[in-house]
Amino acid sequence: MITAGVDVGAKYSKIVLLEDGKNILTRANGVVGFDVGKSAVEVFEKALVDANLKRDQISQIVATGMGRKIIHKNPPINAGEIVPEVIADAKGVFHLIPTVKTVIDVGAEEGRGVKVGEKGGVKDFVINERCAAGAGTFIETMARALEVRVEDMGPLALKSTNVIPMNAQCCVFAESEVVTLIHAKVSKEDVAKAIHDAMAGRIASMVLRVGVEKDVVLVGGVARNPGFIPPLKKELNAEILVPEYPEYTGALGAAIIAFEMEGQK
Protein backbone atom coordinates (compact mmCIF):
# COMPACT_ATOMS: atom_id res chain seq x y z
CA MET A 1 0.00 0.00 0.00
CA ILE A 2 1.28 3.44 -0.92
CA THR A 3 0.50 6.50 1.16
CA ALA A 4 1.68 10.09 0.96
CA GLY A 5 2.47 12.86 3.40
CA VAL A 6 2.39 16.44 2.20
CA ASP A 7 3.90 19.15 4.39
CA VAL A 8 2.85 22.55 3.04
CA GLY A 9 5.24 24.75 4.98
CA ALA A 10 5.71 28.50 5.05
CA LYS A 11 8.54 28.43 2.56
CA TYR A 12 8.67 24.92 1.05
CA SER A 13 6.24 22.12 0.28
CA LYS A 14 7.67 18.71 1.08
CA ILE A 15 6.27 15.36 -0.03
CA VAL A 16 7.08 11.81 0.98
CA LEU A 17 5.64 8.77 -0.79
CA LEU A 18 5.70 5.73 1.46
CA GLU A 19 5.24 2.03 0.79
CA ASP A 20 3.64 -0.17 3.46
CA GLY A 21 4.25 2.42 6.14
CA LYS A 22 8.03 2.02 6.12
CA ASN A 23 9.82 2.21 2.76
CA ILE A 24 10.30 5.70 1.41
CA LEU A 25 9.74 5.62 -2.36
CA THR A 26 10.60 9.23 -3.00
CA ARG A 27 10.93 12.70 -1.52
CA ALA A 28 10.29 15.95 -3.31
CA ASN A 29 10.15 19.60 -2.41
CA GLY A 30 9.51 22.96 -3.98
CA VAL A 31 9.26 26.59 -3.01
CA VAL A 32 5.81 27.73 -1.91
CA GLY A 33 4.80 30.62 -4.10
CA PHE A 34 1.97 33.11 -3.81
CA ASP A 35 -0.45 30.42 -5.02
CA VAL A 36 0.16 27.91 -2.24
CA GLY A 37 -2.16 25.24 -3.65
CA LYS A 38 -0.58 25.39 -7.11
CA SER A 39 2.95 25.10 -5.65
CA ALA A 40 1.92 22.07 -3.61
CA VAL A 41 0.35 20.40 -6.65
CA GLU A 42 3.51 20.94 -8.70
CA VAL A 43 5.65 19.24 -6.06
CA PHE A 44 3.13 16.46 -5.69
CA GLU A 45 3.15 15.80 -9.44
CA LYS A 46 6.94 15.84 -9.44
CA ALA A 47 6.94 13.18 -6.71
CA LEU A 48 4.51 11.02 -8.71
CA VAL A 49 6.75 11.23 -11.78
CA ASP A 50 9.86 10.41 -9.69
CA ALA A 51 8.17 7.32 -8.28
CA ASN A 52 6.47 6.43 -11.56
CA LEU A 53 3.06 6.44 -9.92
CA LYS A 54 -0.40 7.84 -10.59
CA ARG A 55 -2.65 9.60 -8.08
CA ASP A 56 -5.13 6.70 -7.92
CA GLN A 57 -2.37 4.33 -6.82
CA ILE A 58 -2.02 6.26 -3.58
CA SER A 59 -4.40 4.88 -0.97
CA GLN A 60 -4.38 7.80 1.43
CA ILE A 61 -2.83 11.26 1.70
CA VAL A 62 -2.41 13.22 4.90
CA ALA A 63 -1.44 16.89 4.85
CA THR A 64 0.36 18.90 7.48
CA GLY A 65 2.03 22.29 7.67
CA MET A 66 0.77 25.84 7.62
CA GLY A 67 -1.02 25.45 4.26
CA ARG A 68 -2.50 22.03 4.91
CA LYS A 69 -6.13 23.16 4.72
CA ILE A 70 -5.68 24.31 1.12
CA ILE A 71 -5.20 20.75 -0.14
CA HIS A 72 -7.60 19.08 2.30
CA LYS A 73 -10.31 17.33 0.25
CA ASN A 74 -9.37 19.55 -2.63
CA PRO A 75 -8.37 17.93 -5.97
CA PRO A 76 -6.02 17.00 -7.45
CA ILE A 77 -4.10 16.17 -4.25
CA ASN A 78 -7.32 15.65 -2.30
CA ALA A 79 -5.71 14.93 1.09
CA GLY A 80 -8.10 12.82 3.14
CA GLU A 81 -6.99 14.16 6.50
CA ILE A 82 -5.01 17.00 8.00
CA VAL A 83 -2.84 16.94 11.10
CA PRO A 84 -0.97 19.68 12.95
CA GLU A 85 2.80 19.92 12.50
CA VAL A 86 3.67 18.74 16.00
CA ILE A 87 1.73 15.49 15.52
CA ALA A 88 3.41 14.80 12.17
CA ASP A 89 6.86 15.75 13.50
CA ALA A 90 6.65 13.39 16.46
CA LYS A 91 5.42 10.51 14.31
CA GLY A 92 8.03 11.03 11.60
CA VAL A 93 11.01 11.38 13.92
CA PHE A 94 9.90 8.42 16.06
CA HIS A 95 9.87 6.30 12.89
CA LEU A 96 13.47 7.26 12.13
CA ILE A 97 14.84 7.38 15.68
CA PRO A 98 12.64 5.33 18.06
CA THR A 99 14.66 6.46 21.09
CA VAL A 100 13.63 10.08 20.56
CA LYS A 101 12.08 11.88 23.53
CA THR A 102 12.40 15.50 22.40
CA VAL A 103 11.94 16.88 18.90
CA ILE A 104 13.04 20.40 18.03
CA ASP A 105 11.68 21.57 14.70
CA VAL A 106 12.94 24.88 13.38
CA GLY A 107 11.35 25.83 10.08
CA ALA A 108 11.11 29.03 8.12
CA GLU A 109 8.44 30.74 10.22
CA GLU A 110 8.09 28.68 13.37
CA GLY A 111 10.13 26.93 16.00
CA ARG A 112 8.58 24.02 17.90
CA GLY A 113 9.53 21.77 20.75
CA VAL A 114 7.75 18.44 21.12
CA LYS A 115 7.94 15.98 23.97
CA VAL A 116 7.43 12.58 22.36
CA GLY A 117 5.45 9.85 24.08
CA GLU A 118 4.76 6.23 23.34
CA LYS A 119 4.46 5.17 19.70
CA GLY A 120 5.41 8.64 18.53
CA GLY A 121 2.51 10.43 20.22
CA VAL A 122 2.74 13.96 21.57
CA LYS A 123 3.03 14.35 25.35
CA ASP A 124 3.48 18.11 25.35
CA PHE A 125 4.60 20.79 22.95
CA VAL A 126 5.51 24.42 22.66
CA ILE A 127 5.53 26.74 19.65
CA ASN A 128 7.18 30.13 19.39
CA GLU A 129 4.69 32.97 19.44
CA ARG A 130 4.50 35.84 16.99
CA CYS A 131 8.22 36.36 16.49
CA ALA A 132 10.52 35.35 13.70
CA ALA A 133 13.62 35.57 15.90
CA GLY A 134 13.27 31.83 16.65
CA ALA A 135 12.92 30.64 13.07
CA GLY A 136 14.79 30.28 9.79
CA THR A 137 13.52 33.57 8.39
CA PHE A 138 15.57 35.28 11.07
CA ILE A 139 18.80 33.91 9.60
CA GLU A 140 17.69 34.87 6.09
CA THR A 141 16.98 38.43 7.17
CA MET A 142 20.31 38.68 8.95
CA ALA A 143 22.13 37.21 5.93
CA ARG A 144 20.72 40.07 3.85
CA ALA A 145 21.98 42.57 6.42
CA LEU A 146 25.44 40.97 6.30
CA GLU A 147 25.32 40.71 2.49
CA VAL A 148 26.16 37.00 2.47
CA ARG A 149 24.27 34.00 1.04
CA VAL A 150 22.01 32.31 3.55
CA GLU A 151 23.78 28.96 3.05
CA ASP A 152 27.09 30.63 3.97
CA MET A 153 25.81 31.89 7.32
CA GLY A 154 26.41 28.63 9.23
CA PRO A 155 29.96 27.99 7.96
CA LEU A 156 30.77 31.66 8.59
CA ALA A 157 29.59 31.40 12.20
CA LEU A 158 31.73 28.32 12.78
CA LYS A 159 34.85 30.37 12.02
CA SER A 160 34.29 32.60 15.04
CA THR A 161 35.04 31.83 18.67
CA ASN A 162 34.04 35.19 20.09
CA VAL A 163 30.94 35.65 22.19
CA ILE A 164 28.93 38.76 21.35
CA PRO A 165 25.57 38.91 23.10
CA MET A 166 22.51 39.98 21.12
CA ASN A 167 19.64 40.95 23.34
CA ALA A 168 16.81 41.70 20.94
CA GLN A 169 13.74 39.52 21.31
CA CYS A 170 12.40 40.61 17.94
CA CYS A 171 13.65 40.06 14.39
CA VAL A 172 13.30 43.74 13.48
CA PHE A 173 15.18 44.99 16.54
CA ALA A 174 17.77 42.24 16.14
CA GLU A 175 18.45 43.56 12.65
CA SER A 176 19.11 46.97 14.18
CA GLU A 177 21.60 45.34 16.55
CA VAL A 178 23.33 43.64 13.62
CA VAL A 179 23.56 46.95 11.77
CA THR A 180 25.09 48.49 14.90
CA LEU A 181 27.67 45.67 15.06
CA ILE A 182 28.49 46.16 11.37
CA HIS A 183 29.04 49.86 11.98
CA ALA A 184 31.26 48.97 14.93
CA LYS A 185 33.45 47.02 12.48
CA VAL A 186 32.75 43.65 14.09
CA SER A 187 33.73 40.88 11.66
CA LYS A 188 31.07 39.05 9.65
CA GLU A 189 32.14 35.79 11.28
CA ASP A 190 31.54 37.18 14.76
CA VAL A 191 28.20 38.71 13.80
CA ALA A 192 27.12 35.45 12.17
CA LYS A 193 28.01 33.56 15.33
CA ALA A 194 26.18 36.11 17.49
CA ILE A 195 23.07 35.62 15.34
CA HIS A 196 23.18 31.83 15.67
CA ASP A 197 23.88 32.03 19.40
CA ALA A 198 20.91 34.35 19.89
CA MET A 199 18.60 32.11 17.91
CA ALA A 200 19.78 29.00 19.72
CA GLY A 201 19.17 30.79 23.02
CA ARG A 202 15.60 31.62 22.04
CA ILE A 203 14.83 28.12 20.81
CA ALA A 204 16.44 26.51 23.87
CA SER A 205 14.53 28.66 26.35
CA MET A 206 11.31 27.77 24.54
CA VAL A 207 12.04 24.02 24.45
CA LEU A 208 13.08 24.02 28.10
CA ARG A 209 9.49 24.94 28.94
CA VAL A 210 8.39 21.43 27.98
CA GLY A 211 11.59 19.86 29.32
CA VAL A 212 14.51 18.35 27.45
CA GLU A 213 14.90 14.60 27.63
CA LYS A 214 17.36 12.52 25.58
CA ASP A 215 17.41 11.64 22.71
CA VAL A 216 17.04 15.14 21.35
CA VAL A 217 16.46 15.35 17.61
CA LEU A 218 16.64 18.52 15.54
CA VAL A 219 14.58 18.68 12.35
CA GLY A 220 13.28 21.29 9.93
CA GLY A 221 15.24 23.28 7.37
CA VAL A 222 17.39 24.98 9.99
CA ALA A 223 18.75 21.57 11.02
CA ARG A 224 20.84 21.77 7.84
CA ASN A 225 22.58 24.88 9.17
CA PRO A 226 25.89 23.77 10.77
CA GLY A 227 26.25 27.07 12.63
CA PHE A 228 23.07 26.51 14.62
CA ILE A 229 23.85 23.11 16.13
CA PRO A 230 26.87 23.88 18.40
CA PRO A 231 25.19 26.78 20.26
CA LEU A 232 21.95 24.79 20.62
CA LYS A 233 23.91 21.85 22.00
CA LYS A 234 25.61 24.16 24.46
CA GLU A 235 22.36 25.84 25.53
CA LEU A 236 20.59 22.54 26.11
CA ASN A 237 23.62 20.70 27.44
CA ALA A 238 22.63 17.72 25.33
CA GLU A 239 23.73 15.86 22.24
CA ILE A 240 21.68 16.83 19.20
CA LEU A 241 20.82 14.19 16.62
CA VAL A 242 19.93 15.23 13.09
CA PRO A 243 18.34 12.77 10.64
CA GLU A 244 19.61 12.57 7.07
CA TYR A 245 16.66 14.50 5.59
CA PRO A 246 15.60 16.72 8.48
CA GLU A 247 13.21 18.88 6.44
CA TYR A 248 11.09 15.86 5.46
CA THR A 249 10.16 14.47 8.88
CA GLY A 250 6.78 16.25 8.95
CA ALA A 251 5.85 14.86 5.56
CA LEU A 252 7.12 11.43 6.60
CA GLY A 253 5.03 11.53 9.76
CA ALA A 254 1.97 12.51 7.74
CA ALA A 255 2.57 9.59 5.36
CA ILE A 256 2.82 7.19 8.32
CA ILE A 257 -0.42 8.55 9.78
CA ALA A 258 -2.02 8.01 6.37
CA PHE A 259 -0.84 4.40 6.47
CA GLU A 260 -2.22 3.94 10.00
CA MET A 261 -5.55 5.40 8.91
CA GLU A 262 -5.81 2.90 6.08
CA GLY A 263 -4.98 0.08 8.48
CA GLN A 264 -7.90 1.07 10.68
CA LYS A 265 -10.42 0.80 7.83
Partner 1 sequence: MAQTKEYPTEPLKIWNEAKDLRRKYYEGYLTAHEHGALRWAGGAWSFSAIPAGLGNDVYCITGEPYGATVAFFKEFTSKCHDAVEAAGFPRTLCAYMRNYWGSILLDKYILADGTIVDHYPAPDFIWQDHICCSHGKWYQVVKWLEETKGKKVPMYCVDVSVGYSPDEPLETYKINYIVQQLNDGIDWLEKVTGRKYDDKLLCEAVWNEMRATSLWAEVCALNQAVPAPLDEKSMYSLYVMGTLMKHRPECVTFYEKLKAEVEDRVRRGIAAVPNERFRVITDTQPPWGFLQIFREMEKYGVVSLGSLYTYGLIGMWEYRPDGTWAPKQLPLEKPQTREEALKAIVEWTAHRPEWAHFYLPELKTKMMLSIVKQWKVNAVLLHYNRGCEGLSVHIAENRLGLLDAGVPVFPFEGNMGDEREFDMPGTLARLTAFFSSVGLKKLRE
Is residue 168 within 8 A of residue 176, CB to CB? The reply is: yes
Which of 28, 75, 26, 27 shows the shortest CA–CA distance to 55?
A: 75
- Pseudo-torsion of CA 132, 236, 125, 220, nearest 10°? 50
Nearer to partner 1, 181 or 257 (CB): 257
Residue 122 binds partner 1 (CB under 8 A): yes
CA angle 206, 143, 184 (to 5 degrees): 95
118, 129, 147, 244: which one contacts partner 1 (CB under 8 A)?
129
Nearer to partner 1, 46 or 69 (CB): 69
Distance from C-alpha of 4 to C-alpha of 77, rounded to nearest angstrom: 10
Residue 168 binds partner 1 (CB under 8 A): no
Residue 213 binds partner 1 (CB under 8 A): no
54, 130, 183, 185: which one contacts partner 1 (CB under 8 A)?
130
Which of 253, 244, 264, 218 shows the shortest CA–CA distance to 16?
A: 253
State in angstroms the smallest separation of the CB of 122 from partner 1: 4
State in angstroms the smallest separation of the CB of 106 from partner 1: 16
Residue 183 binds partner 1 (CB under 8 A): no
Residue 124 binds partner 1 (CB under 8 A): yes
Which of these segments, 9-17, 24-32, 81-89, 180-188, binds partner 1 (CB under 8 A)? 81-89
Contacting positions for partner 1 (CB under 8 A): 66, 83-87, 121-127, 129-130, 209
